[in-house]
């Protein structure tokens, strides 16, 4: 059995709604093994994105701890955790700086979490490497290296976000419905690219999706969240036997 | 002719204000109200320092440092105190009014009979108003080149990214709050410098000289954009300086047309409003043209 890469222990996240305190996540205990590619399913409001935010530090924990690659990170700032955790958002606009060029975005991502210095960015030296990197997307991104990202299509932007998240190998990759805003064809292409990169780089990855087919077809483990709790956790063997009908029971 | 040269000189000296504001308004994407306090703060510090016998060059640098301090205050109020940045700027601007009175000891302080930066023997030997053009051009060149170099460093790229997309910046380990403070410090440093130079050029500092300067700075940025259109970020810094000079000419023409100097502020506001609306009006007209052509093609 592979070693534990991400350990969530008794995670509790609350939100204050007026006078009352509402629990967004309750008793989340999860051991993610190195190299796991986990798909996360759940209704709207089940707590999937909240779980990601708890891991990245974008919302405070009311209890519990997050341990990544052997280090407890529960008290570290989101900026500090970004050294270890990469994330791709649902909205293609969220992952890239619109007025900066593709190459400039890649250069920033190549130093994710590194100390910022007054050294020159030396963009030209990285261009050949970026071109090669961008070519694997198969959507012409390598021809747009000097274009501002706001001029890219949604698919190109999301492919770029994915490259930016993975070019410096993260300890954990979080995909937050990263294909949901794309048309079916583009969505399939990005999913394919995702699987390829995750396998090649042997990344540990959690992927939120609303597409049951994607949840079944990709990854080696499937988790279902409901009302802030983990209600099902299928390992590779159980997941292989899982059908769409089995999953539908969770979505009443 | 003299008036034209004077307009260029003043335009360049105010250009620093425009460039300082560009860092916050265009790169970080918020209007920094601190400006209206920083500009007279720089002026007050420079003039007071000179009247206390400090060398004009040192006094000018002190004006810049004073501006940086003001920017730092706004930045900390906003990022550590969680006061919305617009309000933080207004608070610092208001507070600075009292500080400026304290610094000067009165509402208006003259440099009469005090040697300032423009009394340098070389500058004195130049024709009337050309001294301000030389000083303005040299300082603007240094500042613009330094900023272009900065924006192309790793830190500079992170600064741009933080303004462009804070969410993305955070996910790459860049703290947008730090970048916001950096932008406010740098921007207000330049605005304090601009105030210090303008005060020496005018021969006095006045506690009210900050009123409406944010409009002057924004006008420089927006006139530069309207005139030059699509530019790279580095080019836009230069366009802002040129926009500042053009704005001086607009004011000159307005005065030549016989308007009362008392009306300058409302005219400034109208010029800025029109300049902001020009691109929208233009694009709307273009839409109409396209529609018209479409109708013609079908009819």
- What is the mean predicted confidence (pLDDT) over B162-180? 94
Q: Which of B154, B161, B173 minimises the CB distance to A119? A: B154
Contact yes or no for B157 and A121 at CB 8 A = yes
Q: Is A78 on the interface with B (CB under 8 A)?
A: yes
Contact yes or no for A96 and B175 at CB 8 A = no
Contact yes or no for B172 and A116 at CB 8 A = no
Q: Is A100 on the interface with B (CB under 8 A)?
A: yes
Q: Is A95 on the interface with B (CB under 8 A)?
A: yes
Mean pLDDT of all residues belonging to chain B: 92
Query: Where residue B13 falls among pLDDT bands split at 50, 70, 90?
Result: very high
Domain boundaries, given as residue ranges, for chain B: 2-111+120-298
On whether the CB atoms of residues A8 and A55 are closer than 8 A, the answer is: yes
| B298 has pLDDT over 80 | no
- What is the mean predicted confidence (pLDDT) over A185-192? 93
**Structure tokens, B167:** 């969410």
Residue A224: partners with Cβ closer than 8 Å, 6 or more residues away: A40, A41, A42, A230, A231, A232, A233, A247, A250
Percent of chain B with pLDDT over 70: 95
User: Beta strand pairing status for A229-234 and A221-226?
Assistant: antiparallel
B274-286 confidence digits (pLDDT tens): 888 887 887 777 7
Contact yes or no for A108 and B157 at CB 8 A = yes
A·B CB contacts under 8 A: 78
pLDDT at residue number A115? 86
* Nearest-neighbour CA in chain A from B166: distance (Å): 9
- d(C-alpha A161, C-alpha A176), whole Å: 12
On whether the CB atoms of residues A54 and A172 are closer than 8 A, the answer is: no
CATH no., domain B2-111+120-298: 1.10.3470
pLDDT at residue number B255? 87
A82-120 confidence digits (pLDDT tens): 999 999 999 999 999 999 999 999 999 999 988 888 888
By a Cβ cutoff of 8 Å, what residues of chain B touch chain A?
150, 152-158, 160-161, 164-165, 167-175, 233
ipTM above 0.90, yes or no: no
On whether the CB atoms of residues A173 and A86 are closer than 8 A, the answer is: yes
Q: Is A34 on the interface with B (CB under 8 A)?
A: no
Rounded to whole angstroms, the maximal C-alpha distance in chain A is 57
Contact yes or no for A109 and B150 at CB 8 A = no
B230-250 confidence digits (pLDDT tens): 888 999 999 999 999 999 999
User: Beta strand pairing status for A37-42 and A221-226?
Assistant: parallel
- What is the mean predicted confidence (pLDDT) over A183-201? 94
Q: Is A164 on the interface with B (CB under 8 A)?
A: yes
* Nearest-neighbour CA in chain B from A130: distance (Å): 17
* Nearest-neighbour CA in chain A from B24: distance (Å): 15
Which chain B residues contact residue A93 at CB under 8 A? 165
A135-146 confidence digits (pLDDT tens): 999 899 999 999
B112-160 confidence digits (pLDDT tens): 888 899 998 899 899 889 999 999 999 999 999 999 999 999 999 999 9
| A122 has pLDDT over 70 | yes
Q: Which of A86, A109, A117 minimises the CB distance to B155? A: A117
Q: Which residue of B has its CA nearest to A110?
A: B172
pLDDT at residue number B297? 59
Q: Which of B153, B154, B161 minimises the CB distance to A97? A: B161
Q: Which of B150, B165, B233 minimises the CB distance to A96? A: B165
pLDDT at residue number B128? 87
pLDDT at residue number B158? 96
Residue A247: partners with Cβ closer than 8 Å, 6 or more residues away: A41, A212, A215, A216, A224
On whether the CB atoms of residues B15 and B244 are closer than 8 A, the answer is: yes
Contact yes or no for B154 and A116 at CB 8 A = yes
Which chain B residues contact residue A102 at CB under 8 A? none
Which chain B residues contact residue A125 at CB under 8 A? none
| A2 has pLDDT over 50 | yes
A42-54 confidence digits (pLDDT tens): 988 899 999 999 9
- What is the mean predicted confidence (pLDDT) over B202-221? 94
Contact yes or no for A100 and B157 at CB 8 A = yes
Contact yes or no for A114 and B173 at CB 8 A = yes
- d(C-alpha A102, C-alpha A143), whole Å: 10
Contact yes or no for A117 and B170 at CB 8 A = no
pLDDT at residue number A110? 93
- What is the mean predicted confidence (pLDDT) over B185-210? 97
pLDDT at residue number A188? 93
Q: Which of B160, B165, B173 minimises the CB distance to A83? A: B173
Which chain B residues contact residue A97 at CB under 8 A? 160-161, 164-165, 168-169
- What is the mean predicted confidence (pLDDT) over B38-67? 97
Mean pLDDT of all residues belonging to chain A: 92
Name the residue with tokens 């490259």.
Answer: A163
Which chain B residues contact residue A94 at CB under 8 A? 165, 167-168
pLDDT at residue number B160? 96
Query: Where residue B299 falls among pLDDT bands split at 50, 70, 90?
Result: very low
pLDDT at residue number B292? 65
pLDDT at residue number B278? 82
| A1 has pLDDT over 80 | no
Distances (CA, A) of B237 to A247, B180, B277: 57, 19, 21
Domains present along chain A, CATH in parentheses: 35-59+74-248 (3.40.50.300)
């Amino acid at each position: 059995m592979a070693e534990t890469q991400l350990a969530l222990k008794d995670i509790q996240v609350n939100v204050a709604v007026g006078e009352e305190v509402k629990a967004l996540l309750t008793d989340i205990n999860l051991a993610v093994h190195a190299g796991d590619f986990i798909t996360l399913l759940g209704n709207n409001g089940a707590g999937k994105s909240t779980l990601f935010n708890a891991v990245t530090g974008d919302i405070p924990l009311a209890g519990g701890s997050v341990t990544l690659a052997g280090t407890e990170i529960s008290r570290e700032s989101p900026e500090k955790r970004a050294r270890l955790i990469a994330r791709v958002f649902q909205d293609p606009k969220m992952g890239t700086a619109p007025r900066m060029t593709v190459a400039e975005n890649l250069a920033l991502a190549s130093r994710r979490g590194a100390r910022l210095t007054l050294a020159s960015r030396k963009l030209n030296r990285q261009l050949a490497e970026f071109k090669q990197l961008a070519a694997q997307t198969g959507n012409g991104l390598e021809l747009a290296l000097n274009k501002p990202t706001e001029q890219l299509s949604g698919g190109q932007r999301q492919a770029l976000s994915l490259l930016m998240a993975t070019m410096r190998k993260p300890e954990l990759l979080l995909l937050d419905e990263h294909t949901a805003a794309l048309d079916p064809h583009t969505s399939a292409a990005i999913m394919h690219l995702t699987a390829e990169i995750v396998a090649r780089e042997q990344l540990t990855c959690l992927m939120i999706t609303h597409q049951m087919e994607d949840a079944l077809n990709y990854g080696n483990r499937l988790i279902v969240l409901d009302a802030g709790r983990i209600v099902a956790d299928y390992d590779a063997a159980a997941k292989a036997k899982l059908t769409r009908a089995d999953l539908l029971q969770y979505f009443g | 002719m003299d008036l034209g040269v004077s307009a260029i000189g003043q335009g360049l000296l105010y250009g620093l204000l425009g460039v300082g504001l560009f860092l916050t308004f265009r790169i970080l994407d918020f209007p920094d109200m601190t400006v209206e306090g920083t500009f007279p703060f720089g002026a007050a510090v420079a003039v007071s320092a000179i009247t206390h016998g400090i060398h004009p060059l040192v006094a000018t640098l002190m004006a810049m440092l004073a501006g940086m301090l003001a920017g730092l205050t706004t930045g900390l109020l906003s990022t550590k105190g969680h006061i919305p940045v617009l309000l933080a700027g207004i608070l610092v601007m208001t507070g600075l009014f009292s500080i400026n009175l304290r610094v000067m000891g009165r509402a208006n302080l003259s440099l009469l009979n005090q040697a300032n930066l423009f009394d340098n023997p070389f500058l004195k030997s130049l024709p009337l108003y050309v001294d301000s053009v030389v000083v303005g051009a040299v300082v603007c060149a240094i500042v613009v080149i330094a900023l272009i170099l900065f924006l192309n460093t790793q830190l500079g790229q992170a600064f741009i990214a933080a303004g462009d997309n804070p969410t993305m910046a955070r996910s790459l380990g860049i703290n947008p709050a730090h970048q916001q403070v950096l932008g406010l410090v740098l921007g207000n440093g330049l605005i304090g410098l601009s105030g210090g130079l303008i005060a020496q050029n005018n021969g006095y500092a006045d506690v009210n000289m900050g009123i409406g300067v944010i409009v002057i700075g924004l006008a420089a940025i927006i006139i530069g954009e309207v005139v030059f259109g699509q530019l790279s970020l580095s080019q836009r810094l230069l366009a802002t300086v040129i926009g500042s000079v053009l704005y001086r000419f607009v004011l000159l023409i307005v005065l030549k047309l016989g308007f009362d100097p008392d009306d300058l502020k409302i005219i400034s506001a109208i010029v800025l409003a029109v300049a902001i609306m020009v691109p929208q009006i233009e694009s709307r007209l273009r839409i109409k043209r396209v529609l018209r052509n479409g109708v013609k093609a079908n009819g």
